[in-house]
Amino acid sequence: MGVQGLCSLIEANSQIYQDVCFRDSRLVIDGSNLYHWLYFGSGLDQNHGGEYAAFEDLIGKFVKALQDCRIEPYVVLDGGTDITDKKLDTLRSRAEDRIRRAQVAAEKGGKEDIIPPLANKVFKQTLARLEVPVAQCFGEADREIAALASEWKCPVLSSDSDFYIFDLPGGLLPIRHFQWEAGGRNGSWRESFIRCKSYTTSSFCTLFNIQQQVLPVFAAMAGNDYVKLQELTSRWARSAPAGSRSAGRLEELLRWLKSFQRPREAVEAALRLMGDLSRQREAEVLQGLSLGTEEYQLPPSDLKQFFTDGTAPHLLPEAVGLVPDWARLPLTQGRLTSDMLDVLLLKRVRLGVMVDHGSLPSAHLTSRPLRQVMYGLLLGGGRRLRVEESDREGLRLGSCMVRPALRGVAEQLKLDSLDKAAHSLCLRVFLEALGVKPIRLSGLPPHLRLPVAVTCYWMWEASPPPDRSLLQALMLGLVTGETQRESAGSSAPRSMKTHCRQRLDLDVVHAYNQWQACMKDSMHLNQLLGCPLPEPHIAWLYQGPLVHQLVDTLMGGTTPELLLNRNSTSIQLYRALLAAVLQPQETTAASAAGKRGKPPQPLDDLTGRLQQLFLLDEDEEELTARARSAARAEEDPGWQLVSVRTRFRAKDRGHRAKNPEPANKNKRKDWS
């Protein structure tokens, strides 16, 4: 739930903490809290769409710092939205605040703590690669984190104020005091440790002289998501010293609670303070305080068995019969998005806030047809079914009722048996949703097929249509990431190291936000279908500042070959990716449904689309060869990779041998 002002109160009374040299222990980590803290505290880009490779590197360094101190991390992530809707008003308020902050960042260029769209994916993928145990809860993670840490008698790492209330035998390590980068060594044994501060509820209760069993009542009265207690909170707010209303209000409440030995006494006294209440209001307050205090009573841990033997936790009672049994384990492992739970249980989804062009429609609209396919697979295709999407409308939070889409080959799939569906059928459903045929992807490395398919969809569906420099910069970014990935994370070539300008080009921001939204929703759909296409390494797909600078450079007349330092391997991969994206669009039921209701495109837009059909540095003979090769690959159900590099090397050598000067001219050709 969170207790507003509690962190500030404790920081103002820092004697409550104990200095610790932490090592040789399990550590339960509030994962959602950690990845926000790591990203925002690192100085990484927030406004150009993220710096994912650097974020991956930072996560790796954090994990290594723990391992060096023989600390065993167990990361627990939030899952679906609380089905009681007790926090609905709070969630809406936070979303509206993020929209306001995102607009400030877009207009002024400062950092307003808006997490980039794919940062969560990078976090999960990196922890999986490093073999760090991760669990994604079915609901909010706080109680599960506290219950697990309580059973293991180990500390929790978080900055969430709720953990100041839970009775944790191993205490809380506030994340702001966790000096993992500094490190330390202990005496002649040279044992590594991390300097930090430890908090316990017993220290808090001793300092403020209240009974420990009354502490949950304090939290419920101070910040209750079940019932608003303005009659009480306003009383202590008036008593607080000017200039410190939040912390002062809590101190006044703590002074009042000193005289009570049991929670029930405090609740009854609070009711008397509220004066004459109607029976309905009194029952509402009692129920709210009761539910609020119960939030801090810890149940047996469901995650303990998951972490020890891989057994999936039990579903929430409300989810039984709605969430298929096969999905429990991949949901807990984080291999399925928690949005799936919101769709199945609430028929509602909250879409993330991005730093964007505030006067343009939300970037999430571009990928809505992909989400509709996912909704259809989850809920079926009933005419009256709708999913409520909460998203930005201008500079405010709005909502829209979206119809699930279940048509064509997707109708053959049923949610209860989706995990047993044929790979070929799932692949067909996925590619039909994107409007892409296998022939387009047949000559590409397997791990780049999904990003290329998403880029095709983005080129066709984004509004306004991306121009050539946007596509070229995106492809150059993919090639650069691929080069770095193959060289185990070495730095980019010197010509690609650029500093992004201070002022944002919001049209470019909006275009790439649409691409990231398409990538995110495509990955969710791909996961639901059992990953018929290999999941890409997200950290190397997009580097925001670099791609934005590449757009500027390309618009200035620099050719992609020069930016790639005339590296033949990189140029060959760049051309192969570009060729795959710029093939003519296939007409499919899914793409037609996605375009339904859109106004006709102006003639100049249509002309621009036709121009994109002509490929950079490829002649008719090569296009024919590619088409034949792709057709052969489509007949092969295994999609054996055709060697793109060999083909391009042979053609390049032939051009240089026959006529070196025209070959150089071809390198400078642009779109037809």
Dump pLDDT digits (tens) for 121-176.
999 999 999 999 999 999 999 999 999 999 999 999 999 999 999 999 999 999 99
Examine the pLDDT at 611 and tell me if it is beyond 70.
no
C-alpha gyration radius of the chain: 28
DSSP-derived letter for residue 384 is T
Strands (E), 362-477: 387-393, 396-402
Q: 283 falls in which pLDDT band (50, 70, 90)?
A: confident
> Is 246's pLDDT higher than 60?
yes
Q: What pLDDT is recorded for position 290?
A: 86
| pLDDT score, position 234 | 58
Separation in Å, CA 459 to CA 352, 474, 566, 579, 609: 22, 11, 27, 13, 9
Q: How far apart are CA 540 and CA 457, in angstroms?
A: 20
- Comparing 13 with 620, the larger pLDDT belongs to 13
Q: What is the pTM of this model?
A: 0.85
Nearest alpha carbon to residue 395 among 45, 31, 104: 104
Bond prior to 73 in cis (omega within 30° of 0) = no
In this structure, the number of other CB atoms found within 10 A of the CB of residue 73 comes to 20
Q: Is the pLDDT of residue 370 over 50?
A: yes
Residue 174 in 3-state DSSP?
Answer: strand
Q: Domain-by-domain residue ranges, the chain? A: 18-198, 347-668
pLDDT above 80 for 363: yes
- List b or e across 199-217, with b for residues whose CB sees 16 or more CB atoms inside 10 angstroms: bbbebbbeebebbeebbbb
Q: Which pLDDT belongs to residue 654?
A: 40
Does 458 or 600 have the greater pLDDT score? 458
What is the DSSP secondary structure assignment for residue 199, as one 8-state letter?
B
- CA atoms of 545 and 504, how far apart (whole Å): 10
The greatest distance separating any two alpha carbons of the chain, rounded to the nearest whole angstrom, comes to 97
Instruction: Please indicate whether residue 235 or residue 22 has the higher confidence score (pLDDT).
Output: 22
Number of neighbours of residue 277 by Cβ within 10 angstroms:
15
Percent of the chain scoring above 90 in pLDDT:
65
Cα 303–chain centre separation: 22
Picking from 62, 28, 44, the residue whose alpha carbon sits closest to that of residue 119 is 44
The separation between the first and the last C-alpha atoms of the chain, rounded to the nearest angstrom, is 58
- The sign of the dihedral angle between the CA atoms of 541, 545, 546, 551 is positive
CA distance 537 to 448: 9
Task: Give the pLDDT band (50/70/90) at residue 633.
Answer: very low
As a whole number, mean pLDDT of residues 346-358 equals 96
Helix (H) or strand (E) holding 72: strand 71-77
Contact by Cβ (8 Å): 402, 371 = yes
Cα separation, 635 vs 424, in Å, equals 13
pLDDT at 656 over 70: no
Q: Indicate left, alpha or beta for 241 from its phi (over 0: left) and psi (-120 to 50: alpha).
A: beta
pLDDT > 70? residue 282: yes
The confidence band for 235, taking pLDDT boundaries of 50, 70 and 90, is low
pLDDT above 60 (res 607)? no
Closest CA to 23 of 173, 176, 199: 173
DSSP structural state of residue 614:
S
- The continuous run of DSSP H or E covering 406 comes out as none
pLDDT for res 604: 36
Band of residue 615 on the pLDDT scale cut at 50, 70, 90: very low
Which residue bears the tokens 């420990």?
212
- What CA–CA distance (Å, rounded) separates 248 from 241? 6
Is the pLDDT at 631 greater than 50? The verdict is: no
Give the residue from 53, 62, 277, 301 showing the smallest Cα distance to 183: 62
The amino acid that residue 505 corresponds to is D
Would you state the pLDDT for residue 88? 87
Measuring CA to CA, how many Å separate 142 from each of 1, 158, 348, 634, 644? 9, 10, 22, 48, 49
**H or E stretch at 361:** none
Q: Which residues contact 432 (CB under 8 A, 6 or more apart)?
A: 408, 409, 410, 588, 589, 590
Place of tokens 């403020």: 208
The pairing of strands 396-402 and 185-186 is unpaired
pLDDT at 486: 77
Model confidence band, residue 362 (pLDDT cutoffs 50, 70, 90): very high
**Cβ-based neighbours of 471, under 8 Å, separated by 6 or more:** 455, 459, 578, 581, 612
DSSP state of 543: B
Write down the pLDDT at residue 248. 80
Q: Is the pLDDT of residue 367 over 50?
A: yes
Share of residues in the chain with pLDDT > 70 (%): 80
Query: What integer pLDDT is reported at residue 449 of this predicted model?
Result: 97
Residue appearing with tokens 């809707």: 85
Name the band, by pLDDT with cuts 50, 70 and 90, for residue 644.
Answer: very low
Judge whether 268 and 207 are in contact, CB under 8 Å: no
Residue 364, pLDDT score? 98
* Domain range 18-198, its CATH number among 3.40.50.1010, 3.40.50.620, 3.30.70.920, 3.30.499.10: 3.40.50.1010
| pLDDT tens figures, 292-340 | 888 899 999 999 999 999 999 988 888 888 999 999 999 999 999 999 9
Report the alpha-carbon distance of residue 106 to residue 614 in Å, rounded. 35
Selected residue with higher pLDDT from 621 and 512: 512
For residue 223, pLDDT over 60 is answered with yes
Mean pLDDT over the full length of the chain = 84
Degrees, nearest 5: CA angle 452-457-461: 150
Reported as a single tens digit per residue, the pLDDT across 332-342 is 999 999 999 99
